[in-house]
Structure 1
Amino acid sequence: MTTHLWRPYTQMKHAAPPLEAVATKGTRIRLADGRELVDGIASWWTAVHGYNHPHIAEAVSRQLAAMPHVMFGGLTHAPAERLAARLAALLPGDLNHVFFSDSGSVAVEVALKMAAQYWLNRGIAGRTRVLAFRGGYHGDTMGAMSVCDPDEGMHRRFGAYLPEQIFCDLPCTADQTEALDAALARHRDTLAAVIVEPLVQGAGGMLMHPPEVLATIARLAARHGLPLIADEIFTGFGRTGTLFACEQAGIVPDILCLSKALTGGTMTLAATVARSGIFEAFWSDDPAAALMHGPTFMANPLACAAANASLDLFEQEPRLSQARAIGARLAAGLADLRGAPGVADVRVLGAIGCVQFAGAPDLAALKERLLARGVWVRPFGDILYLTPALTIAEADLDRLIAAVVETVRENR
């Protein structure tokens, strides 16, 4: 296997060789050595319909034959037009202005840029910072890193290089709510926006909060006249049991970021969607008021075709009820680990199950034990989590749950 690849989140000097995947199908990954693994994390939560879904594959194949890519500056095409209209119809309120990009981190970068320019276009200077929440993760590019948890996150070493932001705890208690309100009041004249991961802080440790907390954040942001950015890159498209997590709190953010499951895990695509009030600040006779951003592969026709096919499946097949059924099965299957030696917490929301250890586990040993049980699960930090495809068969889900339970018990 080549030594030229620089792998993600990996200390290359002493990393074990990666496993070579040669094929995928449904919820299975086949390796070069002949093993077949049940995928418990749907390739970083993207493959919501399972791998190689024929409806998506056919749509991409048709688009490939017609037009794999065309620049989006000065040109448009039907897959992007249709996808934007469908997203606008699905999202709550007047979230109806869709800017496409090519990854979740870039979607966040665009959202931050939109928020900052929103104020500049209104003639208000000095609003350059963002209020974010401890435990959060929003991506690996520079602006996105600046709104990730500054102390516990993987980007803390870059503090001197990043824009200085404001951080608060999620308002889960009365004191935390009061502290957030005070911070928004104190920094209001320098803040451009508030950003939050609705209901679940994913890469921060699958940290979950109830809809009431999200509603409180939206209420306080509105009270102080600040746009709210909802990062639904992880939570969007059924992962929490509703199509979008914001629905559960009954809120309409001013800007919403989507990626990961947008194309059903087929290829990279992202969207930053703004409400009319944000978009109108850019609608001007002044050319300088335009959003000067344009990823080369934005609105890639192949990716838009895949995303449209993925939305077809959400319309035609019972994905949300499947997500809720997965949640019920995860809750029942992981319940015995509550209070077990070495286990600090067990959390389930929608099609997300998480076991948090009381201390830092030996991640390499955990991965090997999981592989020995024929499953592909990637624990990180102090958690072991499951985010399977929403189409996973009960037998495969039970196998995943059993592998997690047995592995955790061995870890005592």
Structure 2
Amino acid sequence: MSQSDILFDYKHIWHPYSSITNPLSCYSVISAKGVYLKLKNGKNIIDGMSSWWSTIHGYNHPILNKSLKKQIRKMSHVMFGGITHPSAILLCKKLIKLTPEKLDCVFLSDSGSIAIEVAIKMLIQYWESLGQNRIKILTIRNSYHGDTFGAMSISDPNNSMHKIYHRFLPKNLFANAPSSDFHQQWNANDIISFQKIIEKNAFKIAGVILEPIVQGVGGMRFYHPIFLKKVEELCKYHSIPLVFDEIATGFGRTGKFFAFQHANVIPDILCLGKAMTGGTITLAATLTSRDIANTISNSNTRCFMHGPTYMGNPLACAVANANIKILEKNEWKKQVINIEKELCKSLLPLIDHSRVIDVRVLGAIGVVECKQQVNLELIQKFFVKNGVWIRPFKKLIYIVPPYIISINNLKTLINVIKKSLNENNLFI
């Protein structure tokens, strides 16, 4: 990649959550293997982000690569309207087997945000099919569900990155987020706000949508499993469908295959994405119950009104099948346990640092919450100079490394985080 290419990127290409006139620096990656990203200058840096939670088995995994090559020799894509193919059928069989028995109807899409849009449309069309005009969604504050408009409407209107758009969005219902930490004692008062809203608006609410256990972009908080149990009980009592957004947490990240398993609860709709293909190609899924699927399908429209062009993409489905096959060997369990142990041993002590408010660990997730906001430009440069790739936001420095990471590489990530806390110029 030439210097002119870098300059072109700087002037013409918009990157996520960045400015076109004053963009953040971008680091040219020319290849990736295992847990390493190779930069243009030949330097290898350790990826602590799994490319935003997705590359759980590392880069250039031979089994995943083989599945892609095998599929592309047959076909890379074919429309899903009026056509099916073996890779999609096998994937849906696997997803139904992996998830609770209740979830036996699958809608494939091409990104996590679209999986959420699909869930919202399912809820609205479900109640429309029953002759009820229910369009309100209930969720909790500090939530984040994606960047498309329906997903933005159920992300916290005051604390999310999307507040600039909220005058254009549907007004949904937001209960207080639970204050009880995952590892602490349950506070019964945490359910009061949610209970009051659901009881007051029971006949307006189309569904409840939550990120189970882990609130991601809304603050990287891990809340108590009993909150999910109480929510499930209230949803059942009021006959309101419960939707879980497992796009970030699914496929083992929290130490359970799905985060909702920490609470032993079962949703009516489940959204999956990110790690489903092992970080190779975009794919998502929305699973729902037979009751919801049949109710929608037996309505006046007699069909569900959604159909992405790349729905059921054969290439994506094939590599998702290979990814799940790797996960079915259950090596991820030991890998995540080892990561969690090291995070508890080496990351948690940073709680005593004068710059730190809190340190949180769950499964293969480690979070350092600072008292000051990071200077993203400078801290990113610092991390790359010290051989790691970590992408903080606001006051949070967090890592979600590939499951295959060695303890030594994980220690390097943690040590560089510790080192960054001592650099005054990295914080605003």
Q: Do both share a fold (TM > 0.5)?
A: yes
Cα distance between partner residues in 1 of 2:19 and 2:268? 39
CA-CA distance at 1:362 after TM superposition: 2.2
SS in 1 for 2:201: helix
The answer to whether the 8 A contact 1:233-1:257 is kept is yes
2:321 to 308, 316, 323: 308
Stretch of structure 1 that moved more, 213-222 or 254-263: 213-222
Map of 1:220-369 to 2, 5 A cutoff?
Answer: 220-284=234-298, 288-369=301-382
Cα distance between partner residues in 2 of 1:316 and 1:178? 42
Residue identity opposite 2:418 in structure 1: V
Structure 1 stretches of 4+ with a deviation exceeding 4 A read none
SS in 2 for 1:138: coil
The answer to whether the 8 A contact 2:119-2:271 is kept is yes
Residues 186-217 of structure 1 show CA distances to partners (whole Å, capped at 9, x for unaligned) of: 11111100000011011112111121122122
Cα distance between partner residues in 1 of 2:347 and 2:221? 17
The answer to whether the 8 A contact 1:96-1:273 is kept is yes
CA-CA distance at 1:408 after TM superposition: 1.7
The answer to whether the 8 A contact 1:92-1:247 is kept is no
Cα distance between partner residues in 2 of 1:220 and 1:407? 44
Map of 1:1-400 to 2, 5 A cutoff?
Answer: 1=6, 2=8, 3-125=11-133, 127-171=134-178, 172=180, 173-284=187-298, 288-400=301-413
CA-CA distance at 1:287 after TM superposition: 5.7
Stretch of structure 1 that moved more, 15-24 or 249-258: 15-24
CA-CA distance at 1:400 after TM superposition: 0.7
CA-CA distance at 1:317 after TM superposition: 4.8
Structure 2: unaligned runs, 5 residues or longer: 1-5, 181-186
Residue identity opposite 2:150 in structure 1: G
Q: Number of matched residues? A: 410
SS in 2 for 1:189: coil
Residues 298-338 of structure 1 show CA distances to partners (whole Å, capped at 9, x for unaligned) of: 01000000100000100125012211210111111112211
Residues 393-412 of structure 1 show CA distances to partners (whole Å, capped at 9, x for unaligned) of: 12211111111111123348
Residue identity opposite 2:172 in structure 1: Q
Residue identity opposite 2:197 in structure 1: A
CA-CA distance at 1:381 after TM superposition: 1.0
SS in 1 for 2:118: helix
TM norm structure 2: 0.93
Cα distance between partner residues in 1 of 2:410 and 2:192? 42
The answer to whether the 8 A contact 1:258-1:272 is kept is yes
Q: Once the two structures are aligned, what percentage of the paired residues are identical?
A: 41
CA-CA distance at 1:15 after TM superposition: 2.1
SS in 1 for 2:296: coil
Evaluate the alpha carbon distance shift between residue 213 and residue 409 of structure 1 in structure 2; reply closer, same or farther with a 3 A threshold: farther
The answer to whether the 8 A contact 1:40-1:376 is kept is yes
Residue identity opposite 2:222 in structure 1: M
Cα distance between partner residues in 2 of 1:404 and 1:388? 14
CA-CA distance at 1:122 after TM superposition: 1.3
Q: What is the RMSD computed on CA atoms of the aligned residues?
A: 1.3
The answer to whether the 8 A contact 2:348-2:361 is kept is no
Residue identity opposite 2:314 in structure 1: P
Structure 1: unaligned runs, 5 residues or longer: none
The answer to whether the 8 A contact 2:25-2:377 is kept is no
SS in 2 for 1:348: strand
The answer to whether the 8 A contact 2:12-2:20 is kept is no
CA-CA distance at 1:270 after TM superposition: 0.3
Cα distance between partner residues in 2 of 1:339 and 1:93? 45
